[in-house]
A and B are shown apart, each in its own frame.
Chain A
Amino acid sequence: MPETAECHHDLHTSGKQVIDVALVGNPNAGKTTVFNALTGLRQKVSNYPGVTVEKITGFLEDQPGSRIRIHDLPGLYSLVPKSLDDKIASDVISSRSDQVDNLRLTVVVADASNLNRNLYLLTQVVELGLPVLLALNMMDAARANGLQIDVAALTKKLNIKVVPLIANRGQGINELKDAIRHLVKQSGNHSPPAGILVDGALGQVVHPVTIWIKNHSQLSDEACRYEAVRVVSNDSAVENWRAIPHEHSQQGYTTLLAKVQEARQQIETNGSQWAMLETQLRYQWVDEICRDAVKQGTARQGLSEKLDRILTHKVAGPILFLLIFAFIFQSIFTWAQVPMDAIDGFVTWVGAHVGAALPGWILPDLKDLLVNGVIGGVGAILVFLPQILFLFFFLSLLEDTGYMARVAFIMDRFMRGTGLTGRSVIPLLSSFACAIPGIMATRTISNARNRLVTIMIAPLMSCSARLPVYALMIGAFIPQKSVLAIFSLPGLTLLGMYLLGILGAIGAATVFKWFMNKNTRPPTFVMELPPYRLPSLKWTLLQVTERAKIFVTDAGKIILAISIVLWFMAYYPRPSAGTLPSQAIKQSYAGQLGHFIEPTIKPLGFDWKMGVALITSFAAREVLVSTMATIYNVEGANETSQSLRDKLRSERDPETGQAVYTPLVSISLMVFFVFACQCMSTVAVVRRETNSWRWPMIMIIYMTSLAYVASFVVYQGSKLLGLG
């Protein structure tokens, strides 16, 4: 490995060079448990530059000054990348990533109770030429499944160090640490591990390709044979050689193509499929290893399959799924309300006290900026935190137990029409509480296109911040009439708003699918249903706090900036002394802007005051209520306030003398809020999760257009039909 400048820097400051060790393994192999045991939960979470894949590192828990840095890479089944996560992991251990300077060892964590498929990845990793260590985790689960694993035979067969583990009980961790320390010291002179065999008849078939690769690279003989197998079985592997310059040789890329074609034809003639060559070879090798090292005794009937008889049962499965999520949402709405109110109260208290404590000589403008702009802005971030923490806590628990995979299994068929898969269900359901944790939860979606579509439609799910708006409008303008004896008109209106959001999301997903279809792979649904496991509370809490930190720091900065801008617009220019607050808002920049956009929103039935509310509620939807309250000069209004409702009802157009708010206007306004992207926190999170301004911009544009068109159709359509 070439040493980078940073490495030298480390060398000078600490006296010891940092040695990198990569931890890879299949998802659900207990890789993270092993990582935590090695590093003592002292992890550092950052992002790989340019992507949203989390980079998790920690130093080997060791004598002070240990410089062995462990990289917990995303779980993957194969080095052929399927998702962004896979690509990162694959790049790091193939030494293609500049994020890891001094990689000396790859530790493959395998689930001993599922050894066969877990070893597939190992067959690929050993070909990379670095020392490899096999950490055989969950030995207890293997025993329970009736598997007897002969570690000595496995070591001999693979020619690498194998350490058996029960990581969640800490068994074997010291041996693993010793093995890592030992292996990183003697790098360079390890005897090569055993890999797949490319010999005999097969060796003959791929020989011409092997020779071509040999002549066009500096790879070892062994590596050339492996690459030849990859190239013969995989078109994209052939493609990788197109970019290699061939100036010193007449035999260019076209020659390679011809040789590959010939090898493939020969394989077909022998009655096999060339596209299966590589995988079949690997699994043949894996089967051979397992034949020698694993004895299958009598297995107990799997607990997981028994649990699944209920949890994925035709009838009970969906019912339990709904009950579990009803419980989670209930907790987000009710339990989170207490800390949310506390935070809200605390922020107001701090604001008031800071305001009072500031010395008199400070400009009133500065004081207002501090109290309403900065502290109010920070409050807007913090008030969402309890909901985010609750949701993440439950989602993390469900993920760690293995239930999440069952949710995807149950709901996949339902999602089919939108072009999405079952994996999008959780983020979308979460978005009914709040789109922010919902969008952050899309990371579990491996298909990049599906992840993006899910992010883009998540804010169309009616979140809890829309409730105050719906509550105000329905309470004021929708008459309490019963429908079909059991339903009430206000209740049905509310339901209608939620359904409208879902319909919009389905429509938007279909359109996005159509737009993005061109050069991305179609979504597939090939998903492991891992055995149910007890989650670790400590680890879950750690994950929740990490996510919370990221939310507050990253999204918080943007929210704060926008808050200050909105504050400025509502505060300036300063009115003369004695002006009523409702007059002041009319003269402010926000008020002027409201007047400016009035002609645009007039066809939706809105006047300039609603325009102001639309502008300020871009910060957050519920700001609409407080803005309206300011404009109509109702002190201390909230969404159930009778006086604000009365004010709205009695508001008259100064020219025509007709009511400004009719039930139709209120519906038009609600429809606007169903679709409009009125939430800067969401914009900030989308910016973070997609790492560009492109998608948040597209989101604002498409959602606002959708909102406008929908409100226009509702308002003008009803007018045409003579309603309202």
Chain B
Amino acid sequence: MIALEQLKIGESATIQTVMNQAPDMGQLLEMGLTPGTRVRLVKFAPLGDPLELEVRGYHLSIRCSEARSILVKRDLSQQVA
């Protein structure tokens, strides 16, 4: 398990858990970042933070500090971005 933030650009992964200490855990979950959901890291913003994810068929931006509290497992069969 790694933090979502540690994914490489274009990599997909499956969410394992969202840690309790995330200040906006409820909001992250409501936006669809629930355990078992597949996410893809699309890119980082020009200044390196926040980042852009693809989740449940749409694009979502969260800060790296928030992404740090989301633990994921890399997908074994990586799609080529």
Contact = CB atoms under 8 A, between A and B. Distances in A.
Contact of B58 (A117, A275, A525): A117
B45 to A, nearest CB: 5
B20 A273 contact: yes
A318 B45 CA distance: 10
B45 A276 contact: no
Given A78-B30, A116-B57, A524 B25 contact: no
Contact of A113 (B45, B47, B57, B60): B57
B58 A524 contact: no
Contact of A80 (B30, B50, B52, B62): B30
B28 A526 contact: yes
* Tier of interface size on chain B: 20 to 34
B23 A524 contact: yes
Interface residues of A, number: 46
Interface in A273-331: 273, 275-276, 279-280, 283, 304-305, 308, 312-315, 317-318
Q: What DSSP secondary structure best describes chain A's contact surface?
A: helix
A182 B66 CA distance: 46
B28 to A, nearest CB: 6
Contacts of B50: 409, 412-413, 422, 525
Contacts of B52: 308, 312, 409, 529
B20 A77 contact: no
B39 to A, nearest CB: 13
Given A80-B26, A525-B66, A117 B35 contact: no
B29 A276 contact: yes
Contacts of B46: 312-315, 317-318, 410
B59 interface: yes
A283 B32 contact: yes
B43 interface: yes
Contact of B61 (A115, A280, A318, A529): A529
A292 to B, nearest CB: 17
Given A275-B26, A526-B24, A117 B63 contact: no
Contacts of A416: 49
Contact of A117 (B18, B48, B56, B61): B56
Contact of B57 (A114, A234, A273, A522): A114
A529 B59 contact: yes
Contacts of B23: 521-522, 524
A526 B27 contact: yes
A82 interface: yes
B17 A525 contact: no
B1 interface: no
A512 interface: no
B41 interface: no
A408 B62 CA distance: 11
A274 B40 CA distance: 26
Contacts of A114: 56-58
Nearest to B63: A525
Contact of A527 (B29, B49, B57, B60): B60
A638 interface: no
Nearest to A28: B58
A408 B47 CA distance: 12
A77 B55 CA distance: 15
Interface in A55-92: 77-78, 80, 82
Contacts of A409: 45, 50, 52, 61
Contacts of B43: 308, 312
A86 to B, nearest CB: 11
A145 interface: yes
Interface of B: 17-18, 20, 23-32, 34-35, 37, 42-43, 45-50, 52, 56-63, 66
Interface of A: 77-78, 80, 82, 113-117, 120, 145, 234, 273, 275-276, 279-280, 283, 304-305, 308, 312-315, 317-318, 405, 408-410, 412-414, 416, 422, 521-522, 524-531
25 contacts: A114-B56, A117-B32, A279-B30, A280-B29, A280-B34, A305-B42, A313-B46, A315-B46, A318-B46, A405-B61, A409-B45, A409-B61, A410-B45, A416-B49, A524-B23, A524-B27, A525-B50, A526-B24, A526-B27, A526-B28, A526-B31, A526-B62, A527-B60, A527-B62, A529-B52
The 6 closest A-B pairs by CB, nearest first: A413-B47, A279-B29, A524-B24, A529-B59, A116-B56, A78-B30
Given A522-B23, A524-B23, 17 more contacts: A78-B30, A80-B26, A82-B27, A114-B56, A116-B56, A117-B58, A276-B18, A280-B34, A410-B45, A410-B47, A412-B49, A412-B50, A413-B49, A413-B50, A526-B24, A526-B27, A526-B31
